[in-house]
């Protein structure tokens, strides 16, 4: 039976919340354990649905995976299967992260084209092109991407766009390649740095993570390690915008504020008071937010994963805002649900113009992806009555203890 959330509007959120490890990092770290034989232990893992989904993928490849709360232990055998199970892979996008490790470790990979959120097309062209420059051959066959390589060799690779997924697959393949790989226009996200930090702890030789040029000197073999997952900046950003939208006061811990610099700066411009600490921040808002323009860009730009929150706060802001989506073309599906809630929004290509209203009007809405679901809950918190959010399994894929955390902050929300 599908679950839904009942969200009572008009509640001010106040208190503190700690974020767990990043969804967009832990799944890639789990995939990277395929690069070496033995047991790797990951700490600070979020208790979300995607972690056991990735476990299923790894188990299908021959690994043993133990999930113990926030600790995940992965034992990779000497002989790894190169065939990623179709049923497991198709459920979520991050499963494609096994492509690079399998190509490097097994010399071949068969990975079903992944499923996941309905936020637009995310082709694997750059993943395949990068592997091909390292010496692999790739093609799509029977609904799967197939890569074959006897021995990968380092190369100079330049990405057309700083794709996070392509950067991850190229780096994880290059660590066991012969010679040096120089990746230009690489993604700079904190999750990329987290992956490279773990790979270096495993014996890789990677320099430049967090910049646009990553250099990888291939090694013969890696070793298991222990690693603590970086804090989830998107979950942290969600709580920051929840504080501003409800005119609340929330302290967020477990996150480096520099990973959310632009998102927090936007809140300051909208009228919020933001205090940053070594491992967290505090957001306070007393008055109605002021309208602010947003455009999503790769890190260090404004995150596309926080675009629904930008739309949510703009929907109730004083004035008009323009939101520009530069990463995923279908992410404005979220706007259709905001219109149900009474938002004054007009979509024009990859722009949406919002004219803020005093209060949204409660109704039934449907989550189309993880972040849209969370954004709809925040919108429900500033509506006039009870909003019903359907298809909340999306939210559970990215937000651990979402209802419990909101309740602790003072929200009136029930899962039914």
The tens-digit pLDDT sequence of the chain (416 residues) is: 689 999 999 999 999 999 999 999 999 999 999 999 999 999 999 999 889 999 999 999 999 999 999 999 999 999 999 998 777 676 666 778 999 999 999 999 998 886 544 434 446 889 999 999 999 999 988 888 899 988 899 999 999 999 999 999 999 999 999 999 999 999 999 999 999 999 999 999 999 999 999 999 999 999 999 999 999 999 999 999 999 999 999 999 999 999 999 999 999 999 999 999 999 999 999 999 999 999 999 999 999 999 999 999 999 999 999 999 988 766 678 899 999 999 999 999 889 999 999 999 999 999 999 999 999 999 999 999 999 999 999 999 899 999 999 999 999 999 99
Calpha distance 336→340 (Å, rounded):
7
Flag whether 305 is marked binding: yes
> Of 401, 399, 391, nearest to 235 (Cα)?
399
Calpha distance 254→63 (Å, rounded):
30
Flag whether 93 is marked binding: yes
Joined tokens for residue 159: 């990405």
Question: Phi then psi for 242, rounded to 5 degrees?
Answer: -65, -40
Give the pLDDT score at 117: 40
Give the pLDDT score at 310: 97
> Of 244, 338, 248, nearest to 291 (Cα)?
244
Give the pLDDT score at 2: 86
Q: Which fold has domain 5-17+232-415?
A: UDP-n-acetylglucosamine1-carboxyvinyl-transferase; Chain (3.65.10)
Give the pLDDT score at 372: 94
Helix (H) or strand (E) holding 219: none
Which distant-in-sequence residues (6+ apart) come within 8 Å of 383 by Cβ?
7, 9, 10, 341, 342, 359, 360, 361, 362
Give the pLDDT score at 115: 55
Give the pLDDT score at 389: 98
Q: Which residues pair with 65 in a beta bridge?
A: 74
Give the pLDDT score at 109: 94
Alpha-helical runs (H) found in 343-387 = 370-381
Superfamily of domain 25-222: Enolpyruvate transferase domain (3.65.10.10)
> Of 255, 257, 316, 307, nearest to 285 (Cα)?
316
Catalytic annotation, residues = 117
Flag whether 327 is marked binding: yes
Give the pLDDT score at 135: 96
Ranges in the chain annotated CATH 3.65.10.10: 5-17+232-415, 25-222
């Amino acid at each position: 039976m599908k679950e839904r959330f009942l969200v009572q509007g008009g509640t001010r959120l106040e208190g503190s919340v700690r974020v767990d490890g990043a969804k967009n990092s832990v799944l890639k770290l789990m995939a990277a354990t395929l690069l070496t034989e033995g047991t790797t232990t990951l700490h600070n893992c979020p208790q979300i649905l995607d972690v056991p989904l990735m476990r299923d993928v790894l188990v299908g490849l021959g690994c043993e995976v133990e999930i113990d709360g926030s600790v995940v232990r992965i034992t990779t055998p000497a002989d790894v299967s190169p065939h990623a199970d179709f049923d497991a892979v198709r459920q979520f996008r991050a499963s494609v992260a096994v492509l690079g490790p399998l190509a490097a470790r097994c010399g071949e990979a068969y990975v079903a084209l992944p499923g996941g959120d309905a936020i637009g097309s995310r082709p694997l062209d750059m993943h395949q092109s990068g592997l091909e420059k390292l010496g692999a051959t790739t093609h799509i066959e029977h609904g799967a991407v197939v890569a074959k390589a006897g021995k990968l060799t380092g190369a100079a690779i330049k990405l057309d766009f700083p794709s996070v997924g392509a950067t991850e697959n190229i780096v994880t393949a290059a660590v066991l390649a012969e010679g040096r790989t120089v990746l230009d226009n690489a993604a700079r996200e904190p999750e990329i740095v987290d992956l490279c930090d773990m790979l270096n702890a495993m014996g890789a030789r990677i320099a430049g993570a967090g910049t646009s040029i990553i250099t990888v000197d291939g090694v013969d073999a890696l070793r298991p390690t222990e690693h603590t997952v970086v804090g989830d900046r998107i979950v942290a950003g969600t709580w920051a915008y929840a504080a501003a939208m409800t005119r609340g006061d929330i302290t967020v811990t477990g996150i480096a504020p520099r990973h959310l610099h632009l998102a927090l700066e936007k809140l300051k411009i909208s009228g919020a008071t933001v205090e940053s600490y070594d491992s967290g921040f505090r957001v306070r808002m007393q008055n109605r937010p002021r309208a602010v323009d947003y455009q999503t860009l790769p890190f260090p730009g404004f995150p596309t994963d926080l675009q629904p929150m930008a739309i949510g706060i703009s929907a109730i802001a004083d004035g008009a805002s323009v939101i520009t989506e530069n990463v995923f073309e279908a992410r404005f599906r979220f706007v259709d649900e905001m219109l149900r809630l009474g938002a004054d929004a007009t979509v024009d290509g990859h722009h949406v113009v919002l004219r803020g209203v005093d209060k949204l009007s409660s109704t039934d809405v449907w989550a189309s992806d993880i972040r849209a679901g969370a954004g709809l809950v925040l919108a429900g918190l500033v509506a006039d009555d009870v909003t019903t959010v359907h298809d909340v399994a999306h939210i559970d894929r990215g937000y651990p203890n979402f209802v419990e955390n909101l309740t602790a902050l003072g929200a009136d929300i029930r899962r039914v």
